[in-house]
Amino acid sequence: MDNNLIQKLKQVIKGDILTDDQTLTTYSHDASLFEVKPQVVIFPKNEEDVKALVKFAAENKKDNPTLSLTARSGGTDMSGGSINDSIIVAFEKYFNHTPTINNNIATTEAGVYYRDFEKETLKHNLIFPSYPASREICAMGGIVNNNSGGEKSLQYGKTEKYVKRMKVVLSDGNIYELCPLSQNQLEKKMKLKTFEGDIYKKMHKLITDNYDEIMKAKPQVSKNSAGYFLWNVYDKDKKTFDLTQLFVGSQGTLGFVLEADIELVPIHKHREMMIIFLHDLSNLDQIVKEALSLNPESFEAYDDSTLKLALRFFPEFAKLLGTKGIIQTAFDFLPEFLMIVFGGLPKLVLQVDFTGNDPDELKQKIKNLKEKLKPLHPKIRIAIEKQEEKYWAIRRESFNLLRKKIRNKHTAPFIDDFSVKPEYLSKVLPQVTKLIKKYKEFIFTIAGHVGDGNFHIIPLIDITDPKVRKDIPILAKEVYSLIHEYHGSITGEHNDGLIRTPYLKQMYGEKITSLFEQTKQIFDPDKIFNPRKKVYGDLDYAMNHIRQNW
């Protein structure tokens, strides 16, 4: 960046402005397979800093067309959503004050890590139920901007359901509050002769003029993070208009989220878990149907490759499981070792988790599920005496083990998050694995939220192999074409970012994609916020920024 611009920034920003190589290298990466080096990393100290920064970008954009602002908090985004080649605005250092809890509503800043957020909610016996698997290292700004979901989303839904209010900075450099508006409140907003008034007028017109097409475009899945959620903004039945629903999942492309009010739910006291081992997928649809009929809190799955990792590296699981030690962990895994010796590895392990406040009711659900599954003859185990910790460790930590333990191979999340209706899984999963197996350089594991039909396919690749780099977009298109056939979403949780934005037109079509572009234009006419994400995706740019090493 031009040194004159740096000097101008220092005159208007009180926070930290860093351009040293170490910082720029650190902020060149998130949890995706990309590397994009920024020119500056800024840690805004307060709200005035953020306002000044946005105004600075708007005033200097004309003479510096590539100038942009990309928000970042925990930096755990798997789609490349939190990296860019201009200015990174990092919220984790100063926007991390302790959340406040008022009844069942938590007010939090963007840079608060989820682990710290949950410490506060647990004091009130409450929890935010759509936390992601990266719960120990992610932050609330990313959770809101990605519309995160996770293991409890089957019963509770995703982040979009729990955001009740936002404080945002828009492209005019001013702070606004977003919340659900009644019809009268909306009409008052639309009469304002201000940037805010224009936004409400234009968004209301865009949605009402295209209402039927927008509602038809809503993916018919329980989890979706693709595109802008235009279908969630205007509720004709309740007569409410809610722009928070547009900002949830928008990856910081419409403005900066400074603060959000998040609804919490009570914690259940008891749990029961059933583990189902499948050596083939012929009965998967029926098993899923029977399990879902009993309303589990979570319904997870992982494949034989994931289980192999757990067995191969069980000392690491001893650490994850606390004070048990290696001997106790080995004992815990003995049934799985014996299973391999006498029956071979199952193709898929299903984990059905029931929670509630009545232990007898949960035991009855387990009993009912056993009866329902008897005609299908699956091998099952009931987790007892906190054995569920072992299975949760396998499910949650497989991605980290992949990243750390497989030599000369690197995790490449690019087809990592598709979502279809659960009844299609027995057809979709074999077809997806068949597609990947065509590419001999790719090793992969499968894990996911089977109850939501949301699966994470994580290939392991040699990132330096030119053929692998060439095949990534080809394989992605093939997988996404398959998901499109089954009316699914290309991303249930991890969002679009650099990797999936170029495929949104394939998923939604020309008309809806043009409405996404118009939405971006309404909020961000100078294209200040996080370019190449959600709209105007550039596949060549993405592929040219695949990491060269880890």
Positions of CATH 3.30.43.10 in the chain: 3-93
For residue 531, give the DSSP letter. Answer: T
- CA 214, 217, 218, 220 torsion-angle sign: positive
C-beta of residue 488 within 8 angstroms of C-beta of residue 481: no
Q: Which CATH architecture has domain 3-93?
A: 2-Layer Sandwich (3.30)
C-beta of residue 418 within 8 angstroms of C-beta of residue 479: yes
Distance CA 109, CA 213 (A): 35
CA distances for 201 relative to 94, 192, 206, angstroms: 34, 9, 9
CA distances for 124 relative to 128, 152, 291, 330, angstroms: 12, 19, 31, 36
Q: Beta partners for 352?
A: 274, 299
For residue 139, give the DSSP letter. Answer: B
Cα 191 vs. chain centroid, distance in angstroms?
A: 36
Give the count of alpha carbons within 13 A of 431, CB side only: 13
- CA 21, 91, 96, 133 torsion-angle sign: negative
Burial 448-482 (b: 16+ CB within 10 A, else e): bbbbbbbbbbbbbbebeeeebbebbbebbebbbeb
Distance CA 516, CA 364 (A): 47
For residue 243, give the DSSP letter. Answer: T
Distance CA 428, CA 444 (A): 16
Give the count of alpha carbons within 13 A of 354, CB side only: 24
For residue 99, give the DSSP letter. Answer: P
Distance CA 430, CA 258 (A): 43
This prediction has a pTM of: 0.92
Element (H, E) at 460: strand 454-461
Positions of CATH 3.30.465.10 in the chain: 100-266
Positions of CATH 3.40.462.10 in the chain: 270-485
- Which residue intervals of 344-464 are DSSP H helices? 359-373, 388-405, 425-437
C-beta of residue 402 within 8 angstroms of C-beta of residue 460: yes
Distance CA 112, CA 99 (A): 8
User: May I ask the CATH class of domain 270-485?
Assistant: alpha beta
Q: Residues in the chain with pLDDT < 50?
A: none
Of residues 218, 92, 217, the one with CA closest to residue 160: 218
The pLDDT value given to residue 4: 87
Task: Give the list of residues 6+ apart from residue 301 with CB closer than 8 angstroms, or none.
Answer: 348, 349, 350, 351, 446, 447, 448, 449, 450, 455
C-beta of residue 274 within 8 angstroms of C-beta of residue 374: no
The pLDDT value given to residue 489: 97
C-beta of residue 25 within 8 angstroms of C-beta of residue 37: yes
Number of H helices, E strands in the chain: 22, 21
Topology classification of domain 100-266: 3.30.465
Cα 392 vs. chain centroid, distance in angstroms?
A: 19
pLDDT tens-place string over residues 278-329: 988 888 999 999 999 999 999 999 888 777 776 676 666 566 555 555 555 5
